[in-house]
């Protein structure tokens, strides 16, 4: 491994460690919202644009994850995500099947793009619980409207501004992003704690199995039957 690769490895470990040490209360709160959503037969919607969409996919339709999950991918056009167009979130939110028993998760490192902010506002207007995963420096007075303004739970991804952790070529190149790794770590920790909570309450968690193991597909199909009109698998 080169020196830069070694530095990146250390940055990844440091970021995940920061999340682990500082976000336990927030993970607990988010897991409780997930558990209530499961008990109410609601859907947990995940949304992120750009590479944050990877975190939404990490939440939805995967082995070890909850079956009542959906990654929202409708907002992708021929020129990319519409996340910077004002008013688009207000329009698109009306196309989503959202119910008060549902929970909504928005993943965004900046948390200030119009699509994300407008979706967050509309989600709360429609009575859903909102969890956001974002960079949160703890400033008391944000300079612009943010998804944090509407969140029930704010999970800090521990990432730097701009996401990248490595400077190369005398500062002309920034690389080594960590937000996708951090978001996946956070989401899986929330799901794990949610499963624990349901078990503690004597409720069988609707956890998907790998379709690559014997009986996995059949088991998942059985779980999916309750939600088949509202979710899909990737």
Residue 175, classed as helix, strand or coil, is: strand
Which residues does 228 contact at the CB level (< 8 Å), separation at least 6? none
Average pLDDT over residues 148-177: 95
**Per DSSP, what are the bridge partners of residue 71?**
46
* Rg of the chain over all Cα atoms, to the nearest angstrom: 18
Q: End-to-end CA distance of the chain: give it in Å, rounded.
A: 34
pLDDT at 38: 98
Q: In whole angstroms, give the CA distance from residue 66 to residue 34.
A: 9
Q: In whole angstroms, give the CA distance from residue 131 to residue 140.
A: 19
Average pLDDT over residues 153-179: 95
Token pair listed for 104: 């909504």
Return the CATH fold of 3-224.
Answer: Rossmann fold (3.40.50)
- The 10s digit of each residue's pLDDT in 21-59 is 999 999 999 999 999 999 999 999 999 988 899 999 999
Token pair listed for 162: 């701009």
* Domain coordinates in residue numbering, the chain: 3-224
Q: In whole angstroms, give the CA distance from residue 205 to residue 222.
A: 13
**Per DSSP, what are the bridge partners of residue 148?**
none
Which residue, 143, 125, 158, 135, is CA-closest to 20?
Answer: 158
- The 10s digit of each residue's pLDDT in 66-110 is 999 999 987 665 556 678 888 888 888 888 999 999 999 999 998
Token pair listed for 171: 């500062």
The answer on pLDDT for 159 being more than 70 is yes
At CB < 8 A and 24+ separation, what contacts does 159-163 make? Answer: 159/15, 159/109, 159/135, 160/135, 161/135, 161/137, 163/109
179 and 159 Cβ atoms separated by less than 8 Å = yes
- The 10s digit of each residue's pLDDT in 190-234 is 999 999 999 999 999 999 999 999 999 999 999 999 888 888 654
């Amino acid at each position: 491994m080169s020196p830069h690769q070694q530095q990146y490895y250390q940055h990844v470990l440091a970021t995940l460690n920061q999340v682990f040490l500082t976000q336990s209360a927030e993970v607990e709160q988010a897991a409780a919202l997930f558990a209530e959503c499961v008990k109410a037969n609601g859907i947990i919607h995940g949304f992120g644009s750009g590479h944050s969409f990877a975190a939404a996919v990490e939440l939805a339709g995967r082995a070890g994850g909850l079956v009542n999950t959906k990654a929202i991918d409708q907002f992708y056009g021929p020129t990319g995500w519409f996340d910077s167009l004002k008013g688009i979130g207000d329009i698109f939110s009306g196309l989503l099947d959202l119910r008060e028993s549902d929970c909504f998760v928005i993943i965004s490192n900046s948390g200030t793009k119009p699509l994300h902010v407008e979706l967050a506002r509309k989600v709360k207007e429609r009575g859903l619980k909102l969890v956001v995963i974002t960079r949160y420096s703890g400033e008391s007075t944000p300079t612009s409207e943010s998804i944090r303004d509407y969140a029930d739970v704010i999970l800090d991804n521990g990432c730097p501004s701009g996401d990248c952790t490595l400077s190369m070529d005398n500062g002309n190149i920034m690389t080594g992003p960590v937000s996708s790794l951090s978001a996946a770590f956070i989401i899986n920790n929330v799901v794990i704690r949610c499963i624990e909570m349901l078990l503690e309450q004597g409720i069988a968690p609707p956890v998907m199995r790998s379709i690559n193991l014997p009986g996995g597909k059949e088991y998942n199909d059985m779980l999916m039957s309750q939600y088949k009109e509202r979710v899909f698998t990737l």
